[in-house]
Amino acid sequence: MFTELFYRDKGLFLQSLHPATVLVYLTVLLILALVFANPLYLLALFLLLALLIREADGVRAWEGFLRAGVFLMLVIMTVNPLVIRAGKTIIWHGPQVPYWGRLDVSLEALYFGAVAGLRLLVMLSIFCLYNLVLNPDRLLNLFSGIAGRSVLLITLATRLLPAMAQNLQRTAAVLRLRGVDIEAGGLRQKVKGYACLYNILLLSSLEDALAVAESMQARAFGSGRRSVYRRNTFRPRDTLCTGGSLLALLAACWGWRSGYGRFTFYPEADYLIKDGATLGVLGVVLLYLSVPLILSAGWKRCRFLRSKI
């Protein structure tokens, strides 16, 4: 389950996009999640992300993000009404607390906590989608010509945790094949078993570090200006997805300036749907953001479209 959180190449359409295209798309989603306050807009983004994660075959990895997000959402919904007293609609009059005053819970404060938790779920889903569809090596290759040493450092750092997780699983599997059960016995025996496991992991990490150093020396790293070989090509699919992302951002900015993405919680909650334009702006934004989903469906079912994009 832990390895599901990291990128794995599955030959999917979303993984075949140019890293700049994926980065622009995820950045637009993140901006919209931070700017929009209307719960309807945030819920629509959450459902769109659910479809994208399903298309990226990452539902199992998404479950881990959702568990943490729902827990934090419940914490926000519990703490916010007890701290914020700006709402008009009081739904519960609590006791008098010294130096704090009366604990009154308002409907607006509860509403704000729920929407804040929903925004948190959307942002966690965006980072989950990032892990599923964007290859870290391809992304860092974009900036390798600008800052080669910094990119190398970031690449080694991002590889550290996934590599250690894979080595830990392989080592535990080898120990089980040899008849060593690290889960057997009491607490003392388990500590000894895990100490042996992590000792092997430390030794293998040192060996991997030496192998990386030898590889860098064999490739004459640091001897002069490095060359950059770019394998990423910008295809028609990237043009369509990038254009859809930018058009969605423009439509969202126009809607936000016109007041269709905003929402007022205090002192009294605003209307969820002010008029038909609220749904119209949302529909336009979702249509442009759904371009990768539409192309992915056509890419899997139509060979002609697959050859053209």
**Mean pLDDT value across residues 133-139:** 82
Over the stretch 89-121, which tens digit does the pLDDT of each residue have?
777 777 777 766 677 778 888 888 889 999 999
Q: How much is the pLDDT for 100? A: 65
Q: Is residue 24 predicted with pLDDT exceeding 90?
A: yes
From residue 129, give the alpha-carbon distance in Å to each of 30, 192, 245, 255.
Answer: 11, 38, 16, 26
Residue 136 pLDDT grade (very low, low, confident, very high; cuts 50, 70, 90): confident
| Domain edges within the chain | 2-134+235-308, 145-218
Over the stretch 177-210, which tens digit does the pLDDT of each residue have?
877 777 777 777 777 777 777 788 888 888 888 8
Q: Is residue 2 predicted with pLDDT exceeding 60?
A: no
Residue 83 pLDDT grade (very low, low, confident, very high; cuts 50, 70, 90): confident
Q: How much is the pLDDT for 214? A: 85
Among candidate residues 30, 50, 52, 33, the one with its CA nearest the CA of residue 41: 33
Over the stretch 31-70, which tens digit does the pLDDT of each residue have?
999 999 889 999 999 999 999 999 998 888 888 888 888 8
Among candidate residues 123, 120, 81, 116, the one with its CA nearest the CA of residue 102: 81
Q: How much is the pLDDT for 249? A: 95
Tokens of 179: 């008849």
Give CA–CA dist 243/253, Å, rounded.
Answer: 15
Kind plus residue range of the DSSP H or E element containing 104: strand 101-106
Q: Is residue 1 predicted with pLDDT exceeding 60?
A: no
Q: Is residue 26 predicted with pLDDT exceeding 90?
A: yes
Over the stretch 242-275, which tens digit does the pLDDT of each residue have?
999 999 999 999 988 888 888 888 877 778 887 8
Q: Is residue 17 predicted with pLDDT exceeding 60?
A: yes
Cβ neighbourhood burial of 93 (10 Å; 0-12, 13-18, 19+): exposed
Neighbour-count burial for 267-292, b at 16+ CB within 10 Å, e otherwise: eebeeeeeeeebeebbebbbebbbbb
Window from 22-26, 107-111, 137-141, 202-206 with minimum mean pLDDT = 137-141
- pTM for the model: 0.80
Mean per-residue pLDDT of the chain: 83
